[in-house]
A and B are shown apart, each in its own frame.
Chain A
Amino acid sequence: MKQSIFSIESNEQIAKNVYRMKLKGDTEEIKVPGKFIDIKIEGFFLRRPISVCDADKDTVTIIYKVVGKGTEALSRMKEGKLDILSGLGNGYDLTVSGAKPLLIGGGAGVPPLYMLARKLIGQGKKAEVIIGFNKKEEIFYENEFKALGAEVTVTTADGSYGKKGYVTDAMQGKEYSYIYTCGPEPMLKAVYNASKTSGQYSFEERMGCGFGACMGCSCKTKYGNKRICKDGPVLFKEEIIWEK
């Protein structure tokens, strides 16, 4: 973890209620996909944890959905500096992906899969991507995933674009070596039940600190209590206990 100041390079709307922000700063701690950053927003008390979509040597890209006053304030910022804790969370383990990993994202859970797909494809893996949304206006990054060389399936719950249904409908008949996923908990659970292989599941939880101090985001696993912010957000399929 590192606390540092990032400057806003750009912040634009890319889908309904969804924004992409590019930040320039020290990305030393963001080498692994699946990590998150914790942003101090002027006028709000708690930092806002947001997953990393991509990072290179001096920029980090986040894609976030406006869900409350904090993210709404963030969406209005066009320039300026932000106090950020970077490099939080464990991130995805790429070493166990096998040759043909399947990446499954739902809504605001899609962003971290981008850096993951880029890294996996960079390692010569044949990554396939399923991204699910409620409706057409909410879709983002279909073309960006395709540009990486991934085979992409888009699903919409209302059928307004791509395959009608849920990500699990698109999983049917697919051959894959491993599953990486991120999205709302009901989707993660559905993927878990539909999956034929092991996998890694990235969870979301309301956090206090974001770095393991407050125990605000604890969950039970088969290997004991874990903190989503510090021991997660990525959990292995084998350790997950579904409580909700």
Chain B
Amino acid sequence: MGEMKVNLCGITLDNPVIPASGTFGYGYEFAELYDINILGTFSFKGTTKEGRFGNPTPRIAECTGGMINAVGLQNPGVDKVIEEELPKLKKCFNKKVMANVSGFSVEDYAYTCEKLDKCEQVGWLEVNVSCPNVHGGGMSFGTSAESAARVTEEVKKVTRKPVIVKLSPNVTDIVTIAKACEDAGADGISLINTLVGMRIDIRTRKAVIANKTGGFSGPAIFPVALGAVYRVSKSVKIPVVGMGGVSSAEDVIEMMLAGATAVEVGTANLINPYACRDIIRDLPVAMDKYGIGSLKEITGGAV
């Protein structure tokens, strides 16, 4: 059987499969369905300094090949995550978890990251500068190289854990922003967050989502994600975590060939709650089929 282990910023993963933030809660919901210790790791629900309810409902819309969401970073706030969610997770997950963090100011990011830095369960900080669904936060930091770099720099000052900056595709040039984050000390880049999208009910002429616009995700965005991962990984030396529409073992392999060291799986979890388990089960078969002895050797292997 082929070797699935990969190394992400100094921590070995049993396999490159990582459920993406916002599609896997704080893990324990899925632990009722299967042993989540089979995962490489997972990125928990985007966490902010204060608790947030998020946007009004409806927050979800159907699309061809995907969906739009405008949840708006609903989470209990970093203190409750540390006091309540992480202890619950500890009972069902014995690996390092990826902590996904968002904020509304540079200080917010630093505050939340500093608190999570002290959690032994947390392996990596995934700093989300790309949420399209909150106003005056999230994505506004990720749409300019300068502010993305500033968040990276401040977060790096408060943690010794690897910092992975999660980037938005809703920008003029994602490569410039990725390089700015690398120069500011980022240990990795993850991409892509969702694409800004919208649906309108033509009978009522109203936007389907209360927030009007939301983030488009699902298999339809896979080629966009692949293109971004390819371009960014060619331009930076730090590891790239690829995501966007990944739904199968073949998608994981393709994403790694484009340049990803590890791969996040998001929306697929919402349609098939066993998606990551199935992908991990199917990976060795796909590796055999395509003559892959060790997954870590295929990163960036596209010719």
Contact = CB atoms under 8 A, between A and B. Distances in A.
Interface of A: 1, 3, 40, 44-47, 70, 85, 205-209, 211-220, 225, 230, 243
Contacts of B274: 3
Nearest to B75: A215
Interface of B: 22-25, 29-30, 32-33, 45, 53-54, 56-67, 69, 71, 74, 218, 269-274
B33 A1 contact: yes
Contact of A205 (B58, B65, B273): B58
A215 B33 contact: no
A230 B32 CA distance: 13
A138 B257 CA distance: 56
Main SS of the interface on chain B? loop
Given A45-B218, A213-B30, A215-B74, A206 B59 contact: yes
Give the secondary structure class of A's interface: loop
Contacts of B74: 215, 218, 225
Contacts of B29: 211-213, 230
Given A207-B60, A220-B53, A225-B74, A214 B22 contact: yes
Nearest to B29: A212
B54 to A, nearest CB: 7
Contacts of B45: 215
Contacts of A1: 32-33, 273
Contacts of A217: 57, 59-60
16 contacts: A3-B272, A45-B62, A47-B271, A70-B62, A205-B57, A208-B69, A209-B271, A211-B273, A212-B25, A212-B29, A215-B22, A216-B57, A216-B69, A217-B60, A219-B57, A225-B53
Contact of B63 (A45, A211, A215, A219): A45
Nearest to B33: A1
Contacts of B59: 206, 208, 215-218
A213 B57 contact: no
B77 to A, nearest CB: 12
Contact of A46 (B22, B58, B67): B67
Contact of A85 (B32, B54, B273): B273
A128 to B, nearest CB: 32
Contacts of A215: 22, 25, 45, 54, 59, 71, 74
Contact of A209 (B58, B64, B270): B270
Contacts of A70: 62
A117 to B, nearest CB: 29
A28 to B, nearest CB: 15
Contacts of B71: 214-216, 218
Contact of A3 (B63, B64, B67, B273): B273
Contacts of B24: 213
A45 B273 contact: no
A70 B67 CA distance: 14
Contact of B64 (A45, A213, A220, A230): A45
Contacts of B271: 40, 45-47, 209
Nearest to A214: B270
Contacts of A3: 272-274
A119 to B, nearest CB: 25
